[in-house]
Amino acid sequence: MNDDVLMGSLVGQEEVLTVEELARACHAEVRWVAELIEVGILAQRGHDQASWRFCAADLVCARRAARLQRDFEASIETVAVMLDLLNEIDRLRGRLRRAGLDADV
């Protein structure tokens, strides 16, 4: 029997993750997180890198960016455009649903 115990933290809308924790959760380097901020994928919170904090939505976005970058071998700039387009698709589908139209047609 395996007696390993998993430890974790619940991440909500509060800014609780440090840049190091976010990078580790994405299996990336801190420099990669800084690049996400530079291209506008993530918003900078805090004055310097040591004070940056991130919330659950940032973690989801960063993991999505990592997946896109890995799966498509895309540059970080290309990933930023891809995420913008995916977010716009989600927004438009939401408008269609609210209008009572089938978004999958």
Asked if the model's pLDDT at residue 6 lies above 80, the reply is: no
The whole domain housing 89 covers 17-98
* 9 found inside a domain: no
| Confidence grade of residue 7 (pLDDT, cut at 50, 70, 90) | very low
Q: If residue 54 lies in a helix (H) or strand (E), which one and from where to where?
A: strand 53-54
pTM metric for this prediction:
0.79
Asked if the model's pLDDT at residue 78 lies above 90, the reply is: yes
Residue 72 belongs to domain with CATH number:
1.10.1660.10
* 78 found inside a domain: yes
Cβ-count burial 14-37 (b if 16+ within 10 Å, e if not): eeebbbebbbeebebeeebbebbb
Q: Which of these, 89, 32, 88, lies nearest to 62 by C-alpha position?
A: 32
* Residue range 49-60: mean pLDDT, rounded: 94
* 12 found inside a domain: no
